[in-house]
Amino acid sequence: MYRDILFDLDGTLTDSSQGAFRCLDYAMERLGEPPIPPEVKKLFMGPPPEESFRILLGFSQEKARQALRFFREQYEASGQNQVAAIPGMAEALDRLCRAGLRLAVASSKDEPACHAVLENLGIRRYFAAVAGHRDDGAGTKAAIIRAALDRLGREETERGGVLMVGDRKYDVLGAATCGIPCLGVDFCGYAPAGEMAAAGVVALVRSPGEMADYILSAPSAGR
């Protein structure tokens, strides 16, 4: 049985698309750039925004950082209040905690925002640790996952009984780098079709109840 479960935030625990898309619109307006097409906006959900500004829009590093500053400016003003919990998620988290599992968040969202969102939604109490993107270099998904494991007291050589839960390939690949499996979720439809299976998820679930059922019934790949 899995003992420690790490969760991505956007698209996994929450649907933050409404607020995030408005922040993207604001950043583009401040930069004097045309609006981002809806199908491209969806691809921003998952990786760090600065990375997406560079890869998806072709911005230079300097321009991507400027876009990120505008994005965060709007997010802190109103975006973090336009986030909804996935329906049924609180009940699923409660089931996992009552079963004795330890839960943690490992998100590419900046760390203070992770705490604010979890507190606003009333689900912070379920998590023994929260790790997010930091400006000191802990920016890759693998680095964020390692930070969450460290805060749970997990040694580098002790990864058995740990499961990552996420909705994009970045979660799967980051977990694999850390030697742990990843359960894929399809709650918000952020990932392109087939992305999660191609990345190597152990399974793909479509509701928080199904997620909890899998975690509580599946034998872990580790000790």
| Residue 18: per-residue pLDDT | 85
- Contact 164/146 with Cβ under 8 angstroms? no
| Residue 136: per-residue pLDDT | 56
- Contact 168/46 with Cβ under 8 angstroms? yes
Ranges of residues in the chain with a pLDDT under 70 are 79-80, 135-138, 156-157, 220-223
The CA distance from 65 to 126, in Å, is 33
| Residue 137: per-residue pLDDT | 52
Among residues 4, 8, 15, 171, the one annotated as catalytic is 8
- Contact 65/73 with Cβ under 8 angstroms? no
The CA distance from 90 to 205, in Å, is 16
| Residue 221: per-residue pLDDT | 46
Q: What is the dihedral of CA 48, 51, 57, 59, to 10 degrees?
A: 130
| Residue 222: per-residue pLDDT | 44
The CA distance from 213 to 205, in Å, is 10
Active site residue 186: no
| Residue 83: per-residue pLDDT | 87
Phi (first) and psi of residue 136, to 5 degrees: -95, 15
**Considering the entire predicted model, what is its pTM?**
0.85
- Contact 110/50 with Cβ under 8 angstroms? no
- Cβ–Cβ contacts within 10 Å for residue 111, how many? 18
Where exactly are the structural domains of the chain?
A: 4-15+83-217, 17-81
**Topology (CATH level 3) of domain 17-81:** DNA polymerase; domain 1 (1.10.150)
Task: Place domain 4-15+83-217 in its CATH homologous superfamily.
Answer: HAD superfamily/HAD-like (3.40.50.1000)
In 3D space, the residue among 35, 41, 22 whose CA is nearest the CA of residue 188 turns out to be: 41
